[in-house]
Amino acid sequence: MYRVKEGIIGCAIADALGTITKNQDRNYLLEHPVLKMGPCIKKGLPKGTWGDSTSLMLAVTSAITKKGLNYDYIAENCVSWFTSNKFCAVNESFGIGKTTLKSLIRFTQREHKAYDCGESSINDNGNSSLKMMLPLIYYFHANKESKEKTYDAIKKLCSITHRHEISICACYIYVHYLLFLLNGNNKYAAIKKIKTIDYSMFSNNTLKFFSRILVGNIYELDIDEIKSSSFVVDTLECVLWCFIKSDNYKDCIIATTNIGGDTSAIGALAGAIAGIYYGTNKIPKDWYENVRKKDYLIDISEKYERYLRLLSYEND
């Protein structure tokens, strides 16, 4: 009903493939593409190891399952990821960004609410806040909220690590795009609807950063026009481009794995979308069978699905 397993498994598999190629040159990867699940030799990680993108998502999923939208508890879960190696594919956390680290350390000092701890400079617009959004998307799908409450929740969750308006707007677009898909729209109808929702809470200067999504047709651009950096706008554009340009889960993830730059984050975010859209039965068997801690991923998915069902019944 909610396609939780599809999104979580889709995210982790693409994250694992992207971990192999992260920060490699695009031109090299296009000539020598990675097509199979394998170890990340550069980091000494075994086959199928997913990274911080999936770990952050799982930390948020687990927190909401237990205590709903309690942002301090969500932040505590995120802290336990990098201090106690919880929500990890292997027995160590890796890949935490500088902005995320500074924000979570600030939270541990307990001088502010979690959503007041994120960095707020224009230079603090990495993509980690996007990684936290998938469980919130499911939450909204089960618990229909007003647009004001939806925006408030996105802003608060994003602001645990990134408080700048650009990051919040990127999360707002990503969340609504996936909600449109979960509500039965195809990928082209969903991108069209993204252009029509309310953006009055954002400044014109911020919205200019997203003009290629909100005004133009991002999927009509050539690959050379798509950046794959960890800047949140570049990441969001790349995720949407890879997903919309492909026709199945496999091709989408081959694209994210071999587009260069921050392939693990781009893969995880696009993998969640593609997993939901195409389903786990369309994921290549080799990828599905070799992702690390598959049973754990399924278990946390099933627990969250049960929570969402109860949430939905309570709000009927």
pLDDT in tens, 243-279: 999 999 999 999 999 999 999 999 999 999 999 999 9
3-state DSSP assignment of residue 143: coil
Mean pLDDT of 237-243: 98
The pTM of the full predicted model, rounded to 2 decimals, is 0.96
pLDDT of residue 316: 58
Percent of the chain past pLDDT 90, that is, above it, reads 91
Q: What ranges do the domains of the chain cover?
A: 4-314
| pLDDT class of 102 with cuts at 50, 70, 90 | very high
Query: What's the rounded Cα separation, in Å, for the pair 302 and 38?
Result: 27
- CATH number belonging to the domain at 4-314, selected among 3.40.120.10, 1.10.10.10, 3.40.50.300, 1.10.4080.10: 1.10.4080.10
Reported as a single tens digit per residue, the pLDDT across 30-42 is: 999 999 999 998 8
Dihedral (Cα; 160, 299, 48, 87), 10-degree rounding: 30
pLDDT of residue 315: 64
**pLDDT of residue 314 exceeding 90:** no
**Residue from 54, 65, 42 nearest 96 by CA:** 54
Reported as a single tens digit per residue, the pLDDT across 70-84 is: 999 999 999 999 899
Query: What's the rounded Cα separation, in Å, for the pair 124 and 28?
Result: 29
| pLDDT class of 26 with cuts at 50, 70, 90 | very high
**pLDDT of residue 143 exceeding 90:** no
